[in-house]
């Protein structure tokens, strides 16, 4: 046993926030923390993976090491999206030259990111972490799971999803990594604002320390889409479970770059 004060001193980087990518989100109390889990949930096409890839690109530039499990997107799709985000070129332009060796220099900026392109259950994920440690000499700073439903036996296996979020939270504590989980919300929700917490499929919000729901509004051709991110659970800051308090961003649908909307 130890006192709480001594435990805090010995906790090291546990709970330390990762570098802020979007200060307006941090101003609203949303921070991704080491040794903790976060979930981003939304309907198909609501830019969940785009958010995760933008974060991964920014954090890789900050020197962080990352294990990114892309269970529902193939190598070419992820490479195309990352090259567009990093270069500012459209995904259409990237696609024309990527298979001919174009954008290799751009993608080298992600040399600290190890991608897996198949679903991993907890046992397989543990093996990948051991391999990652052998490769880099330490465990990753960030683990991204895109997405939860692909990594259990069946999309309808809600018990398995809950068990996996519990195990991922324990893994985050044991490794000191931040674990970011992407997940779906119910398609019954038809609003233009981020869905409330209770619309997240499988009611799997017990264990993640931070839960964000997202929604997007497509713009006219040539314009920027609107992205809304709501914090519906937050053990370290403000939250609003109904999703009606949210932070807005722009998304360029051509380059997939996310930008802040300046306040005031």
The CATH number of the domain holding residue 46 is: 3.40.50.300
Q: What is the pLDDT of residue 146?
A: 96
What confidence category does residue 9 fall into, taking pLDDT thresholds of 50, 70 and 90? very low
Q: What is the pLDDT of residue 12?
A: 57
- Judge whether 135 lies within some domain: yes
- Judge whether 100 lies within some domain: yes
Q: Tens of pLDDT along 170-208?
A: 999 999 999 999 999 998 998 899 999 999 999 899 999
The residue range of the domain holding 226 is 26-260
Q: What is the pLDDT of residue 137?
A: 94
SS (H, E, C) the chain: CCCHHHHHHHCCCCCCECCCCCHHHHHCCCCCECCCEEEEEECCCCCHHHHHHHHHHHHHHCCCCEEEEECCCCHHHHHHHHHHHHHCCCHHHHHHHHCCCCCHHHHHHHCCEEEECCCCCHHHHHHHHHHHHHHHCCCCCEEEEECHHHHCCCCCCHHHHHHHHHHHHHHHHHHCCEEEEEEEECCCCCCCCCCCHHHEHHHCCCCCCEEEEEEEECCCCCCCEEEEEEEEEECCCCCCCCCCCEEEEEECCCCCCEEECCCC
- Judge whether 161 lies within some domain: yes
**Which region among 5-14, 26-35, 163-172, 223-232 has the lowest average model confidence (pLDDT)?**
5-14
Average pLDDT value for the chain: 93
Average pLDDT over residues 16-26: 96
- Would you say residue 4 has pLDDT above 70? no
Q: Tens of pLDDT along 237-258?
A: 999 999 999 999 999 999 999 9
Average pLDDT over residues 132-139: 94
Average pLDDT over residues 153-177: 93
What confidence category does residue 91 fall into, taking pLDDT thresholds of 50, 70 and 90? very high
- Would you say residue 10 has pLDDT above 70? no
- Judge whether 17 lies within some domain: no
Give the contacts of 118 (CB within 8 A, at least 6 positions apart). 71
Task: Between 99 and 35, name the one with better pLDDT.
Answer: 35
Average pLDDT over residues 76-92: 98
If one counts the domains in the chain, the total is: 1
- Judge whether 15 lies within some domain: no
Q: What is the pTM of this model?
A: 0.93
- Judge whether 45 lies within some domain: yes
Tell me what percent of the residues of the chain surpass a pLDDT of 90: 85
- Would you say residue 8 has pLDDT above 50? no
What confidence category does residue 2 fall into, taking pLDDT thresholds of 50, 70 and 90? low
- Judge whether 14 lies within some domain: no
């Amino acid at each position: 046993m130890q006192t709480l004060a001594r435990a805090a001193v010995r906790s090291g980087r546990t709970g330390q926030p990762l570098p802020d990518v979007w200060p307006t989100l941090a101003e609203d109390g949303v921070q991704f923390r080491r040794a903790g889990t976060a979930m981003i949930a939304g309907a198909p096409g609501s830019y969940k993976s785009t958010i995760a890839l933008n974060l991964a690109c920014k954090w890789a530039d900050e020197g962080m090491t990352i294990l990114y499990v892309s269970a529902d997107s193939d190598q070419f799709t992820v490479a195309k999206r990352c090259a567009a985000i990093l270069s500012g070129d459209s995904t259409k332009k990237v696609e024309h030259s990527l298979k001919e060796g174009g954008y290799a220099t751009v993608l080298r900026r992600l040399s600290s990111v190890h991608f897996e392109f198949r679903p991993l259950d907890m046992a397989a994920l543990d093996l990948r972490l051991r391999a990652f440690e052998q490769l880099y000499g330490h465990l990753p700073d960030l683990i991204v799971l895109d997405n939860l439903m692909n990594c259990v036996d069946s999309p309808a296996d809600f018990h398995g999803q809950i068990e996996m979020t519990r195990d991922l939270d324990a893994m985050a504590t044991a490794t000191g990594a931040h674990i970011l989980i992407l997940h779906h919300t119910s398609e019954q929700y038809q609003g233009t604002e981020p869905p409330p917490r209770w619309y997240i499929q499988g009611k799997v919000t017990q264990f993640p320390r931070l839960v964000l729901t997202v929604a997007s509004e497509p713009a006219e051709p040539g314009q920027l889409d609107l992205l809304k991110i709501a914090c519906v659970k937050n053990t370290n800051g403000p939250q609003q479970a109904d999703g009606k308090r949210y932070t807005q961003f722009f998304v360029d649908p051509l380059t997939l770059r996310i930008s802040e909307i300046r306040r005031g």
